[in-house]
Amino acid sequence: MGLYGVLNSGVSGMNAQTNRLGVVADNIQNQNTVGYKRGSTQFSSLLTESGSGSYDSGGVTTVVRHDISSKSNVTATTSASDVAISGNGFFVVKDAGGKSALTRAGNFVIDARTGDLVNAAGMHLQGYSLASGTPILSMNSFNGLVPVNLASMAMKANPSTAGRVDKGNLDSNAPDKTGDPSDKNYTSATSFVAYDNLGNPFQVDLYFVKNSTGNWKVAAYDHNKNTPMTGTAPTDLKFDSSGKLTSASSLSFNVPNGKPFKMDFANLTQLAAEFSLKGRTDGNSAQDVDHAAIDTDGTVYAVYADGQTAAAFRIPLATVASPDNLTPRSGNVFEVTPESGTPEINFANVGGRGSIESHSLEDSNVDLGNELATMIESQTSYGANSKVFQTGTEMLETLVNLKR
C-alpha cells in the first residue's frame, strides 16, 4: 500500500484519539453525576501483511470500557430517599417503556404524579410489595418486581387492637373504697385514645378503685356516654406484698365500629407513690404519606404525617458476574449483556451485595486530574498523527509531480 497506507494510518490514529477525547469529555461532564462510572479508551493494533522488501503500515482501533466495578466515595445528604450501596449490588429500575436496567445512582424522589420513587432520569425504582407478607424472590429474573409506590399507602387507617402500660403505679396509701369502679366511684382515673375501622379517634376512660391494700379493680368507660365499654366488666388487679401484680393483667373490650381491644397492665405496680400511668396503643387515623424511609436491609417504610411508619416494600439488589461488561445507557443506568452475565436478585447483605445506606449518595468515580492529563495526551497524539498524514500527503504529492 505504500504511501496510501501511511495516509490511512494517520487517519486511523486521529480517529482513535478523537474517540479517546470523546470519552474524556463524557467523563468530565459527568464528574458530578451520582453513581457515574468513568469510561476509558483501550487501543488495539491492526496490522497488515508486509513483504520482505516493503512495509505496509496498519491502523489502530479503540474499545471503550467503563470502570463499573470500581467503588466511589459516599456523600451524606438530607433526603431519606437518597440511598447508596456499600457492596457490589445494583438497584433495579424500569423506564417508561417497561425496560429494566441496573444502576448505582440512588437519588430517588417521590413522583408527585404517580407516587413512585423515581431517579433523576425518571426511571422507576423496583421492589417487592410487602402487602401480602414476605415476598418470594426470582433469583435470575426481574419477575415479581413492581414500582416502589407510596401513593398506595396514603390515607391508610389502622384500627386499634391492643395497648399496654409501659410504666404505671397505683398509690398503696390511697384510702379504701367499696364497690366497682365507675365514673362516680374511683380512686384514680386516666384515659387514652383508640381508633375505629375508619380511623375515627375514640376516647376510653379507665377508672381504678382501691378496695383494700393489694386489691384493686379497673373498668373501661365510653367517655362520650359515661357508660361501660361493650364487652367488658370490672377486672380485678391483685398485688403481692412487694407491690407486684399477681392476678390477670389485661382488660378487654370492643371499640365501637372497630375491633376487639386488649389493654395490658403487666407493668403496673402498687407502691407507696403517687398514681402515674404511661402507655401506648396501636392504630392510627387516616394519614397522608409524608416521606419514605429506607432501612439498611432495603425495607421501604411509608412515614405518615403523624410520624407513624408502615413497611410497604423491600428493595432487592442485583449482581452480575462481570459488571464491567454491562453496557451504559442514557439515564445513568446499565443494560445487561451476554458478556456481563445474567442478573442474580437477592436482598441486601446477601452474597456481597452490601447494605443500603439511607441519606447517602455514591459519587462519580471520575478523577478530574487524570482526565485533564489524558486530554493533553490525546491532543499531543492527535497532532503527531496529523503530522504523519501531512508528511505522507507531501511525499505523495512529490511522487505525483515526478510524472510531470
Q: Do residues 345 and 126 lie in contact, with contact meaning Cβ atoms separated by under 8 Å?
A: no
For residue range 369-390, list pLDDT tens digits in order.
999 999 999 899 888 888 888 8
For residue 328, what pLDDT is reported?
92
Q: What type of residue sits at position 39? A: G
Q: Domain 157-286 in CATH: superfamily?
A: Flagellar hook protein FlgE (2.60.98.20)
Sort strands 227-228 and 215-222 into parallel, antiparallel or unpaired.
Answer: antiparallel
Closest to 318 (Cα-Cα) out of 301, 300, 333, 302: 333
Q: Lowest-pLDDT range, 54-63, 217-226, 243-252, 376-385?
A: 54-63
On average, the pLDDT of the chain sits at: 90
Binned at pLDDT 50, 70 and 90, residue 251 comes out as very high
Q: Give the percent of the chain with pLDDT over 70.
A: 97
For residue range 209-220, list pLDDT tens digits in order.
999 999 999 999
For residue range 268-283, list pLDDT tens digits in order.
999 999 999 999 999 8
For residue range 103-139, list pLDDT tens digits in order.
999 999 988 888 899 998 899 999 999 988 888 888 8
Q: Copy the grid coordinates of residue 381.
A: 497524539
Domain boundaries defined on the chain? 3-69+365-401, 78-154+318-323+333-362, 157-286
Q: What type of residue sits at position 289? A: V
Sort strands 59-66 and 39-46 into parallel, antiparallel or unpaired.
Answer: antiparallel
Closest to 102 (Cα-Cα) out of 341, 298, 293: 341
For residue 291, what pLDDT is reported?
81
- Residue that wins the pLDDT comparison between 150 and 228: 228
For residue 390, what pLDDT is reported?
83
For residue 53, what pLDDT is reported?
63
133: left (phi over 0), alpha (psi -120 to 50) or beta: left
Q: What predicted TM-score, i.e. pTM, was given to this entire model?
A: 0.69
Q: Copy the grid coordinates of residue 6.
A: 501511511
